Structure 1
Amino acid sequence: MNSTARHRFDGYILGVGTPCGRRFVVGCWQRSPFGAFADIMVAHPDGARELIAPNEEIGAYVCETYQFDQVTLSDVHVARTSSKWVIATDRSRLSATFGRRRLLGYPLRLVRGPLIHPVTARLSNPLARRLVEGVQTHGSAGHGAHEYYVAQDLRRVATLSGSWEGEPIGVLAPVTPAPQFGFSSTPQIPSLTRVTTFIDRPGA
């Protein structure tokens, strides 16, 4: 009988777009099998998908779950307050401020304690697909693995500024088209999601 290992990640996902078509999905994980870390998934205007990861171990792990054309190793620093994030790497600097809670964020704040469980993600998946275009809460993570997203809050991103490789990124824009990193996408409306992710992997 094959064994299955369950890995849990607690933190936040920030999804933003830019006028040129570059889209950023920043994961800031406070608890994970690797400790606290942050990474960035970048969908470039030409369709190329890049992962910026803090080390080879995390880069390899993420690439087993999501699809990328390039992996770049770089420290990812996230300075967080309740109203603003500043994200810095060797090639980029992003500053995002947050607005009011999105309407869906209010019921999500009731998801606490035993409700933070893969069963919640599985049961809520049909509703999530209807309410937020492109978003799924349960699906295949490849190689026989399954991934579950349990969201606990959802806020709007109010502003975005910064640079990519020395060039200004412009103002905030929708996260379109969908980045296509995996089976689910970040919301099209730029958002900050508090989330717990579970990944079940066979034979681990």
Structure 2
Amino acid sequence: MSPTPATRDLRFAGRIAGFGTDSGIRLVIGLWQRSPFGAFVDVMMEDARGHRTLFAPSAQVAEFVGGTYEFDEVLVVPVAAIRIDGGIRVAAGHLSASMRIGPISPLGRLLRAVPPTLATRPAWLQVLDPVARTLVPGVRTAGTAGNGRREFYGVTVARRIVWADASLDGVDLGAFAPLDPPVRFGFGSAPSEPHLVDLVTTIRVPAER
């Protein structure tokens, strides 16, 4: 499946981290190294009531990401990530999170068997989608997004997150937990077992007329 004259592909290369807390808050953190908007970090949060919040570093990112996924609240705040010993720390306005990253997981070893040039190709990801849904419940590799867009997730490496903590407005969000239930920002979720994945996300958007 290739773009047509009526569509164009936007590619985002980087990492996504996903984990939960025993308060019911789940976080999905995007660490984008290359994108149409340059390098940036964004955070998606869903709480135990199902309220979905996007923390975006700019109005431009907020508009695009908010138009691709579904949120109840969009906040434009400073968002940044730094490396710490054994992991990553992220700050997004009054939200902060730290993660310790472990080894490549069994899922990651399976993914490494696929050449990266194939693993990130939309046509391959469309074919792979039914298999991915069976192997990892909640995970999708291709599907529809907001505003007539289609999206393709090409993961090349997957590492376990072995520990994480988070706080919001200075209040601890609870013990590290699986990302369960699945988040509802788009057509699929991150794995329930907390992971940090390297990937290329392709978003196919209607061409400007």
TM-score in terms of structure 2 length: 0.92
1:13 maps to which residue? 16
Residues in 1 aligned to 2:97 and 2:19: alpha-carbon distance in whole angstroms: 10
AA matched with 2:169:
E
2:111 maps to which residue? 108
AA matched with 1:128:
A
1:137 maps to which residue? 141
2:164 maps to which residue? 160
Q: What stretches of structure 1 of length at least 5 have no aligned partner?
A: none
CA contact (8 A) 2:43 2:92 kept: no
CA contact (8 A) 1:87 1:95 kept: yes
**Alpha-carbon offset, residue 132 of structure 1:** 0.6
1:66 maps to which residue? 69
**Superposition pairs of residues 1-204 of structure 1, within 5 angstroms:** 3-80=6-83, 83-115=86-118, 116-204=120-208
- Which range moved further: 96-105 or 20-29? 96-105
List per-residue Cα deviations over 1:99-142 (Å, max 9, x = no partner): 22211101312444431211121121111101111000000013
CA contact (8 A) 1:96 1:160 kept: yes
Residues in 2 aligned to 1:126 and 1:83: alpha-carbon distance in whole angstroms: 34
List per-residue Cα deviations over 1:69-93 (Å, max 9, x = no partner): 0000111111136830100122022
Give the % identical residues. Answer: 38
CA contact (8 A) 2:116 2:156 kept: no
- Which range moved further: 111-120 or 152-161? 111-120
Q: What stretches of structure 2 of length at least 5 have no aligned partner?
A: none
RMSD (CA atoms): 1.6
CA contact (8 A) 2:158 2:197 kept: yes
- Which range moved further: 136-145 or 10-19? 136-145
List per-residue Cα deviations over 1:173-204 (Å, max 9, x = no partner): 01111110000101111111111000111133
List per-residue Cα deviations over 1:148-190 (Å, max 9, x = no partner): 0000011111011232110112221011111100001011111
AA matched with 1:174:
P
Number of aligned residue pairs: 204
Residues in 2 aligned to 1:171 and 1:93: alpha-carbon distance in whole angstroms: 14
Residues in 1 aligned to 2:114 and 2:73: alpha-carbon distance in whole angstroms: 35
TM-score in terms of structure 1 length: 0.94
